[in-house]
Chains A and B, each alone.
Chain A
């Protein structure tokens, strides 16, 4: 399986990163939290894998569909 890019489903600001490069994550695990519409909205892992790259930093504004991070295949 190829690496998967996790995209922002909503626009907002990166409020908190919850994972670092090299972390193993489970499907549905919260990867980072976006602040949007005054709410804290987590981005979830689509599948289990290992975090390969972080593409955004805390405080950064992101748009709908923007790549957030890359997860490897297991």
Chain B
């Protein structure tokens, strides 16, 4: 055979790539309860579908005769694979080679992975561990000079990191300790997941100790910290669950902004009318109720995929299907400040409305919002700034929109329930009620003179409240056509499925020009 030596060398070098950082390092990775990057890719994508790009890259060692003795692979593994039969790009850090850090990286590899995703219009899944190819102080010695962050010719990856958010679905999985550039690559995604055992931070405990903060990895950047702060969307127990999350997220989305969310066959009756919906909201307005069972009752059975559950908790956000059509679903959670929009809830609204706008997902909002959060803490966190950003996101959206007012709609946040400048569908449940201001506390201010002049001010306050409440029936608003429809809650699913079918031909592929998405 003419090319036998070369063929053998190809096989030998391929085997070296498969060996990653060597038996010892692979064993340590396993002993720490983590999979290797190649195992991760194998479990993420459809069996046998991974096609690697650049497997031969790394650092070679040669004997005196110029024959290769060993190649330490570059610590970025990337290529193409399939998820549920659809092509994706996967790029992963190999922690067994120099802890995934810069001294063993080839910067062109992760960049090409991102370029390939954009050019081939494919989703990208990042498997992140370590500093994601970012710096290590050792680099100063190995390169003999100190890196200017972003220096000359290396900033392109940062541009691409943002540009891809407006092109293709980007998923980040944090699978170990994630720091620096790795943390940036995890946060700059449409959907990020970390395992319970993982940690993510700008800088790790040894550096933070210099600030006088003696914290371990979990205390500093564990899932509890990062999912409540909103830096990471979802926490899972195992790496396999993280892969399942990535696959499920992608199932609702087109492969790029140039496609449309895939519509599936639906075996759940679009007209299913759950009896429980009629009693879901208590008559007593001081009492709360659980929103998630309501969501489950109206979307296709089992189709709700919640994200960022621990962040901005007065808003529930996720993907769902209605008669097989993917939608972005927002819903209030009265268990969290009665559903009032805090600063973080507003940030959550921006992020998920932007996601819907980018990937042509119609939006459904099950609303129960008594207003923006009030009080000193709310003012300190710039609730109104984040509130108007959320309103801007809603009003800049162009995707089909449907709101169901389940209970409260009060104040400025009450107006933030539909895009104001265009047509959208809106339904109010029998339990809905609304106003510019809640009565409580408002009466004292508006009727101060009348109350003060009354012989029994307390009795007069109650009397005024009863008088105003009588006028507050949503039916009176419907008479004036201030609300289009008041519905029996049991009809909600049928109407939402109708909305999803009406919205189907309105979804328009292509890059959105109504705004520029940011992480």
Contact with A42, one of B288, B370, B373, B374 (Cβ below 8 angstroms): B288
* Inter-chain contact total with CB atoms closer than 8 Å: 38
Asked if B18 is at the interface (CB within 8 A of a chain A CB), the reply is no
Which candidate, B255-263, B334-342, B345-353, B387-395, is the interface stretch facing chain A? B334-342
Contact check, B287 vs A40: say whether CB atoms are below 8 A apart.
yes
Distance of A37 from chain B, by nearest CB (Å): 4
Asked if B210 is at the interface (CB within 8 A of a chain A CB), the reply is no
Give 15 new A-B contacts, CB below 8 A, not counting A37-B337, A41-B288, A41-B336. Answer: A9-B313, A11-B377, A36-B338, A37-B374, A38-B286, A38-B338, A38-B438, A39-B286, A39-B287, A39-B334, A39-B337, A39-B370, A40-B287, A42-B288, A42-B335
Asked if B440 is at the interface (CB within 8 A of a chain A CB), the reply is yes
Contact check, A9 vs B286: say whether CB atoms are below 8 A apart.
no
Asked if A10 is at the interface (CB within 8 A of a chain B CB), the reply is yes
- In whole angstroms, how far apart are the Cα atoms of A1 and B374 in the complex? 38
- A residues adjacent to B (C-beta < 8 A): 9-11, 36-42
- List the B residue with the shortest CB-CB distance to A11: B377
Q: Which of A39, A41, A42 is the most central at the interface, judged by chain B CB atoms within 10 Å of its CB? A: A39
Which B residues touch A9, using CB under 8 A? Answer: 313, 335-336
Contact check, B313 vs A41: say whether CB atoms are below 8 A apart.
no
The number of chain B residues touching the other chain, given as a range, is 10 to 19
Contact check, B313 vs A39: say whether CB atoms are below 8 A apart.
no
Contact check, B338 vs A37: say whether CB atoms are below 8 A apart.
yes
- In whole angstroms, how far apart are the Cα atoms of A39 and B369 in the complex? 12
Interface pairs (7), CB distance under 8 Å: A9-B313, A9-B336, A10-B337, A11-B377, A36-B338, A38-B440, A39-B338
- In whole angstroms, how far apart are the Cα atoms of A9 and B335 in the complex? 9
Which A residues touch B374, using CB under 8 A? Answer: 37
Contact check, B370 vs A37: say whether CB atoms are below 8 A apart.
yes
Distance of B229 from chain A, by nearest CB (Å): 13
- In whole angstroms, how far apart are the Cα atoms of A9 and B288 in the complex? 14
Which B residues touch A40, using CB under 8 A? Answer: 286-288
Distance of A61 from chain B, by nearest CB (Å): 12
Contacts A9-B313, A11-B377 given: A41-B438 contact, CB under 8 Å?
A: no
Which A residues touch B335, using CB under 8 A? Answer: 9, 41-42
Which A residues touch B373, using CB under 8 A? Answer: 37
Distance of B182 from chain A, by nearest CB (Å): 28
- List the B residue with the shortest CB-CB distance to A36: B337
- In whole angstroms, how far apart are the Cα atoms of A39 and B375 in the complex? 15
- In whole angstroms, how far apart are the Cα atoms of A71 and B375 in the complex? 31
Distance of A8 from chain B, by nearest CB (Å): 11
- In whole angstroms, how far apart are the Cα atoms of A73 and B512 in the complex? 52
Which A residues touch B338, using CB under 8 A? Answer: 36-39, 41
A-contact bits for B280-303, CB 8 A (1 contact / 0 none)? 000000111000000000000000
Distance of A47 from chain B, by nearest CB (Å): 15
Distance of B379 from chain A, by nearest CB (Å): 14
Distance of A67 from chain B, by nearest CB (Å): 15
- In whole angstroms, how far apart are the Cα atoms of A41 and B284 in the complex? 13
Q: 9 closest pairs, A vs B, by CB?
A: A37-B338, A39-B338, A40-B286, A37-B337, A10-B337, A41-B288, A37-B340, A38-B440, A39-B286
- List the B residue with the shortest CB-CB distance to A64: B377
- In whole angstroms, how far apart are the Cα atoms of A66 and B248 in the complex? 35
- List the A residue with the shortest CB-CB distance to B374: A37
Distance of A32 from chain B, by nearest CB (Å): 13
- In whole angstroms, how far apart are the Cα atoms of A42 and B290 in the complex? 11
Distance of B288 from chain A, by nearest CB (Å): 5
Distance of B468 from chain A, by nearest CB (Å): 16
- In whole angstroms, how far apart are the Cα atoms of A11 and B336 in the complex? 10
Which A residues touch B337, using CB under 8 A? Answer: 10, 36-37, 39, 41
Contacts A40-B287, A41-B288, A42-B288 given: A10-B334 contact, CB under 8 Å?
A: no
Which B residues touch A42, using CB under 8 A? Answer: 288, 335
- List the B residue with the shortest CB-CB distance to A44: B335
- List the B residue with the shortest CB-CB distance to A35: B286
- In whole angstroms, how far apart are the Cα atoms of A38 and B373 in the complex? 12
- In whole angstroms, how far apart are the Cα atoms of A27 and B156 in the complex? 50
Which B residues touch A37, using CB under 8 A? Answer: 337-338, 340, 370, 373-374
- In whole angstroms, how far apart are the Cα atoms of A39 and B338 in the complex? 6
A-contact bits for B324-344, CB 8 A (1 contact / 0 none)? 000000000011111010000
Distance of B472 from chain A, by nearest CB (Å): 15
Distance of B61 from chain A, by nearest CB (Å): 50
- In whole angstroms, how far apart are the Cα atoms of A10 and B374 in the complex? 13
- In whole angstroms, how far apart are the Cα atoms of A42 and B336 in the complex? 10
Which B residues touch A38, using CB under 8 A? Answer: 286, 338, 370, 438, 440
- In whole angstroms, how far apart are the Cα atoms of A30 and B146 in the complex? 58
- In whole angstroms, how far apart are the Cα atoms of A39 and B333 in the complex? 12
Distance of A5 from chain B, by nearest CB (Å): 13
- In whole angstroms, how far apart are the Cα atoms of A40 and B337 in the complex? 10
- In whole angstroms, how far apart are the Cα atoms of A10 and B340 in the complex? 11
- In whole angstroms, how far apart are the Cα atoms of A36 and B313 in the complex? 15
- List the A residue with the shortest CB-CB distance to B371: A37
Distance of B412 from chain A, by nearest CB (Å): 16
- List the B residue with the shortest CB-CB distance to A12: B337
- In whole angstroms, how far apart are the Cα atoms of A9 and B377 in the complex? 15
